[in-house]
Amino acid sequence: MTSVLSQKEHIVWHQPTITREHRERQNKHKSVIIWFTGLSGSGKSTLAHAVEAYLHQQGHKTFVLDGDNIRHGLCADLGFSDQDRQENIRRIGETAKLMLDAGIITLSAFISPFAKDRAIVRRLMPAGDFIEIYCYCPLAVCETRDVKGLYKKARQGEIKQFTGISSPYEAPEQPELTLDTSRLSVEESIACIVELLNARTVLRTADITE
């Protein structure tokens, strides 16, 4: 039987006719990966969807990759062991890379607790195309926002390997942006993110080569 490895030797990358640059010109903005990371309850998904709503209203092409939603489909077969968490982020990284080539502003909202896994995703992207946003929020505050009751269950031992309780979270050391979501409103956080995108000329159509 031919091994998977030997089969891969016959796979050749097909160069597309329509490139990322073509799509960016058509969309009139650059594509980028905005990667929200932080504890459960830190506001990642809330911010990702709020920023998407703002950008959508401005006519930009966007899509949110949300942690819970992804685990209903693409990563439905994965659990929450360290190995499964790593594979979860690997799959998301590869998906985000495809969306980058599609010319879309992709907002990814995942706890992504391990620094090395986030670093792997960053290395998948061209320099400057991975924007890591650390949604900082004290654990005690996150627990008060626990609408799903997950922290309570984790404290009671009903959920194993829960980030922040029985599994570690490695905070980014040099993210592109840190937002203290225990202090900043959603509107203030959106303003900070949009300011960063403008500083990086993501949203400025004049910087898209004709």
Active-site positions read 112
Tokens, residue 164: 């922040």
Separation in Å, CA 60 to CA 38, 101, 143, 199 = 26, 15, 34, 17
CB 181, CB 123: distance < 8 Å = no
Tokens, residue 188: 């203030």
Radius of gyration of the chain from its Cα atoms, rounded to whole angstroms: 18
- Residues 169, 37: Cα–Cα separation, whole Å: 10
Q: Please give the single-letter amino acid code of residue 146.
A: D
